[in-house]
Amino acid sequence: MSMRMRKKRNFDARMEACGDLLLAKGANGILNMKEAAENYRALINFPAAFGNDNPVALEIGCGKGGFVIALAKTTPDVNYLALEKMSNVILTPMEEVKKQGVENVRFLNIRAECLPCYIPENSLDVIYLNFSTPLPKLGYATQRLTHRNFLEVYKKLLKKGGKIIQKTDDRDFFDFSLEEYKACGFALEEVSYNLHENGNPQWNIVTEYEQKWVERGLPIHRAVAKLSLEAD
Ligand SMILES: C[S@@+](CC[C@H](N)C(=O)[O-])C[C@H]1O[C@@H](n2cnc3c(N)ncnc32)[C@H](O)[C@@H]1O
């Protein structure tokens, strides 16, 4: 069997059945944020998309969505955007949100590189990066989701005082990320190299990948990087 995941059964019909939750799809040809920002604009109107004016948070690379769905249920007064590039993967949380009737989650089936096409500037309170694909530093640094090219875009999309909250098991990627946050003017508010040292903190929502790594005894790293409240 090939390495590629087989398409889920009745994929197209199932995607369509959740279509009202999907705010953006595709633009897969665009691989570069500069190109994305310059060539295409389809900014989402959040109050129209969610039916209210509540603050908006974004998870980049939501995978099967256990984190964002649990978080959305505990904080119904926050709206969540769950971004995932793989359509075969994003179908799972979309169906779950439908099934559970969670009202404050919408989906973006796009690459993170395309964010400037869809997200208005100065509009997000928090960006969650949970176990982003670490990618080797050598040769792939610019594709890491915490490379300064991405951080400069996140900075525009976040409100003043907005935060990035990152978790990863990869120490090299974590150290790289901390340097990038500092270089881009984020203040490191919380940094932990072993989040589960004394068991899972009661406030922490464990993601699918986190569960896997914790079971194997790997330390989980977490950082909160905050933008200043002052204008630049
Ligand atoms: C290692 S998984 C982690 C999934 C989930 N956040 C968790 O913690 O269980 C990383 C996910 O990010 C997605 N991803 C990686 N690079 C991306 C990109 N540039 N844009 C959007 N999604 C991306 C992958 O498809 C994958 O589903």
- Report the atom number in ligand 1 closest to the C-alpha of 89: 27
Give this prediction's pTM: 0.94
Query: How confident is the model at residue 76, as a pLDDT?
Result: 98
Contacts of 99 by beta carbon, 8 Å cutoff, 6+ apart: none
Ligand 1 neighbourhood includes 36 CB (under 6 angstroms): no
Do the beta carbons of residue 23 and residue 44 sit within 8 Å? yes
- What residues form DSSP beta bridges with 129? 60, 166
Q: Please give the chain's pLDDT, 232 residues, in tens.
A: 445 678 889 999 999 999 999 999 875 555 556 666 666 778 999 999 999 999 999 999 999 999 999 999 999 999 999 999 999 999 999 999 999 999 999 999 999 998 998 999 999 999 999 999 999 999 999 999 999 999 999 999 999 999 999 999 999 999 999 999 999 999 999 999 999 999 999 999 999 999 999 999 999 999 999 998 875 5
Distance CA 92, CA 8 (A): 10
8-state DSSP, 197: B
Ligand 1 neighbourhood includes 115 CB (under 6 angstroms): no
CB atoms within 10 A of CB 136: 11
Q: Where are the domains of the chain?
A: 29-226
Name which of 24, 16, 85 is nearest 49 in CA terms: 24
Q: Whose CA is nearest to atom 24 of ligand 1?
A: 61
Ligand 1 neighbourhood includes 209 CB (under 6 angstroms): yes
Ligand 1 neighbourhood includes 91 CB (under 6 angstroms): no
3-state helix, strand, coil in the chain (%, to 5): 40, 25, 40
Residue 101 backbone zone (phi > 0: left; psi -120 to 50: alpha; other: beta): left
DSSP 114-149: GHHHHSPTT-EEEEEEES-----HHHHGGGSTTSHH
CATH level 3 topology of 29-226: Rossmann fold (3.40.50)
Q: Are strands 124-130 and 105-110 parallel, antiparallel or unpaired?
A: unpaired
